[in-house]
Chain A
Amino acid sequence: MARIIGGLGSPHAPSIGGALDAGQAQTPGWKPLFDGYKVMSDWLAEKKPDVMIVIYNDHGTFFFFDNYPMFAMSVAAEHRIADEGFGKRDLPPLPGDSELAWHLAHSLVDDEFDLTLSQDMPLDHGVLTPVSCVWPHDTGWPGAIIPIHVNVFQFPLPSALRCYKLGQAIRRGVESYDRDLDVVVFGTGGLSHQLQGERFGFNAPDWDQEFLDLIEGDPAALTRLRHQDFIERGGSDSVESIMWLIMRGALSEKVNRVHRNYYLPMHTGFAQVIFEDTETPPDGSRVGKAA
């Protein structure tokens, strides 16, 4: 049986991927963030998940307003690297897991989540930044990803509660899959930030810390917030932190936090977490898993 062993949280700002590619991870400005990514990549190297379900949003790179999906899941066997308008990052294409993705598609639709299914979903910084910062990729990638796009772009957006429930449904889907796989759910997006209007650059570090407390210990409290609350407290772009609730909804009620990092260098509250599931063996051992 497949199972969820933990959840990760990370920002997905394109500048982070750019800094990684330019070899700037150890510069004074970036080190506080990349030291955190080292913890995350070490955790993944130890746990060796087979699949990461990556919760992200496209940024006007692939999905347009002619047909804009609320939730879209890739069932592709491979994902192209997209050009967002500034040239492509030099990354190998990211493998998918079509068999698990189709299983999840059936499970989620049976569970009343009627999401869009995509057989060709080129990826932008929403996926590429976080995944490239935690997985080595000089010669391909150590596992597969299943990206799920969430509309945090064009109102109306799915509610925070809806996102949390989607996470719970993802867990049911993974646990009803009979291949022996370890799965991690990766919630992405910045905490407080606003990248538009005269309020550009708005941040709320105190609220970000409260968000991090709640996402770990009381996610239900976050599901009661309206988009308006996120916008007023954390800036208009912080509404994307509802994507972290999908990750959290996929985990056990209690989680074991093994990493929490926060850094606010310029426009965006960057936060990272690792939550281990407490309803699966913490050592990652299981029948049939190769040593």
Chain B
Amino acid sequence: MTLKSKQLDLSRDVEGTYLFTGQAAQKGYHLNKFCMSLTDPANRDAFHADRAGYMKRFGMSDAEIALVEAHDWLGLLKAGAHHFMVFKVAGALGYNLVATGARMRGETVEEYLATRTVTTLTDKTKDL
């Protein structure tokens, strides 16, 4: 059954867009819980020490763990992760926002930056 909403037209796909509906949130519950746990520095250390073991503690499936290990940010969205949750994992694995976004687009960082107004602001720590 398709959900009815006055605010969303769920029969109409916006290309390249994965809306975080309540049902996606339910599907990705464990995944998102794992991602959010990385807001604690001790958990980040535990994740780095034993990534698969750490993720299993959250009830994640082997397929979900494989998506993280493959840095498959788009796959995580499709599995029900909210993108701001994905950013926490991507950040822990060394991806800033530009790198994460470029990968979702299927582009290199250089290719993505070539489409932007300001291309010189990806400094060491932060980007726009």
Contacts and interface: CB of A to CB of B under 8 A. Distances in A.
Interface of A: 13-15, 18-19, 22, 24, 29-30, 59-61, 64-65, 68, 82-87, 153-157, 159, 194-201, 226-228, 231-232, 236, 264-268
A236 B97 contact: no
B6 interface: yes
B5 to A, nearest CB: 7
A208 to B, nearest CB: 13
Contacts of A226: 6-9
Interface stretch (B48-56, B59-67, B120-128): B120-128
26 contacts: A15-B127, A22-B126, A29-B120, A59-B84, A60-B36, A60-B39, A61-B36, A61-B39, A64-B33, A155-B7, A155-B19, A155-B20, A159-B7, A194-B17, A195-B101, A197-B16, A197-B77, A198-B104, A199-B15, A200-B102, A201-B112, A227-B8, A236-B19, A265-B121, A266-B116, A267-B101
B121 A83 contact: no
Interface string B83-111: 11111100110000110011011100000
B18 interface: yes
Contacts of B20: 153-155
Interface of B: 5-9, 12, 14-22, 25, 29, 32-33, 35-36, 38-41, 44, 74, 77, 82-88, 91-92, 97-98, 101-102, 104-106, 112, 115-118, 120-121, 123, 125-128
Contacts of A159: 6-7
A180 B128 CA distance: 40
A59 B85 CA distance: 8
B87 A85 contact: yes
B101 A18 contact: no
A236 B32 CA distance: 19
Contacts of A227: 7-8
B14 to A, nearest CB: 6
A196 B39 CA distance: 20
Given A83-B39, A195-B83, A154 B88 contact: no
Nearest to A124: B39
B128 A231 contact: no
Given A29-B128, A85-B44, A154-B22, A198 B121 contact: no
Contacts of A68: 25
B29 to A, nearest CB: 6
B88 A85 contact: yes
A216 B93 CA distance: 42
A60 B17 contact: no
B5 A19 contact: no
A64 B36 contact: yes
B72 to A, nearest CB: 13
A266 B9 CA distance: 29
A265 B40 CA distance: 31
B104 A65 contact: no
A268 to B, nearest CB: 7
A22 B14 CA distance: 37
B127 A266 contact: yes
A96 B5 CA distance: 37
Contacts of A14: 126
A153 B120 CA distance: 30
Given A60-B35, A60-B85, A268-B128, A231 B121 contact: no
Interface centre among A30, A200, A201 (most CB of B within 10 A): A200
